[in-house]
Amino acid sequence: MDILDVKNLSKVYGNKIVFTALDNISFTIEEGEFVGIMGPSGSGKTTLLNMISTVDKPTSGEIRIKDKNPLKLKGDNLALFRRRELGFVFQDFNLLDTLTVGENIVLPLTLDGVPVKNQDDELNRISKILGIENLINKRTFEISGGEAQRTSIARALIHNPTLLLADEPTGNLDSKAAMVVMELFKKINKDEKVTTMMVTHDAFSASYCNRILFIKDGTMYNEIYKGDTRQLFYQEIIDVLALMGGGN
Ligand code: ADP
Ligand code: MG
């Protein structure tokens, strides 16, 4: 089953001086996939993510998430759709410093009015998966960058989203923390069957995906699937990036 269906998507910025950031992009993501989006700086990756996450509207084309068109939703319905169907992980974690780690993680449930007992059950479940049970009562300034990202992944997953969206989730992490975070993305995808789309310019992080879509100048440039090993996939990704050029 298709979780995400992007059809002939275009985005033109500006009115006097126009710039085509996305030019007729089409692709689908199936249930259970872990897809990476790569491309040089300025190729349209964040623009694409913003359309899918309904932060911004496309100039033309269609997006369907589990056969719903989020662009047709308004106000409360759109807010509910985003909160229930989508999970977001950002480069800079976006945690609230006034809350504890645990309070940050259950925030989507708090906003949905879920009873505290159920919130606690879900918090226990998800914090175990991410190995952060011992951090629940800490404040955000008491944890490392890697721990902060694991916290934000827990928050993104606590309501079992249809689609997990990540924009450069390892962009602010050192290589060791990046590896831990990518291993967790892989585990969540494999064991919890979370369909994931991740934007990254980092070949190492991308090598954890099952498929990579390469975007250049707002158009689809290439697509590769993971073969036998992550190491081999990493080398293939490096090769495509080198061919594509544009300086990552
Ligand atoms: P990426 O995430 O791949 O680096 P972006 O999606 O951020 O690329 O940007 C793609 C192109 O669109 C860039 O050339 C950028 O300058 C342009 N762009 C992005 N946002 C806007 C905007 N709000 N107004 C005008 N141009 C924009
Ligand atoms: Mg970007």
Confidence (pLDDT) at 245: 85
Confidence (pLDDT) at 9: 98
Residue bearing the bigger pLDDT, 82 or 188: 188
Q: How far apart are CA 179 and CA 162, in angstroms?
A: 24
Residue 56 CA to ligand 2 center (angstroms) comes to 14
Q: Supply 65's token pair.
A: 């998430």
Phi and psi angles of residue 94, each rounded to the nearest 5 degrees, phi first: 55, 40
Question: Residue 117 pLDDT > 90, yes or no?
Answer: yes
Task: Report how far apart the first and last C-alpha atoms of the chain are (Å, whole number).
Answer: 33
**What are the domain boundaries of the chain?**
36-44+83-244
pLDDT average, residue stretch 208-228: 97
| Fold assignment, 36-44+83-244 | Rossmann fold (3.40.50)
Under 8 Å between Cβ of 35 and 210: yes
Question: With a 6 A CB cut-off, is 50 part of the ligand 1 pocket?
Answer: no
Neighbours of ion ligand 2 (CB under 5 A): 45-46
Confidence (pLDDT) at 154: 97
Question: Residue 248 pLDDT > 70, yes or no?
Answer: no
- At 73, the amino acid letter reads L
pLDDT average, residue stretch 65-90: 91
Residue 169 CA to ligand 2 center (angstroms) comes to 11
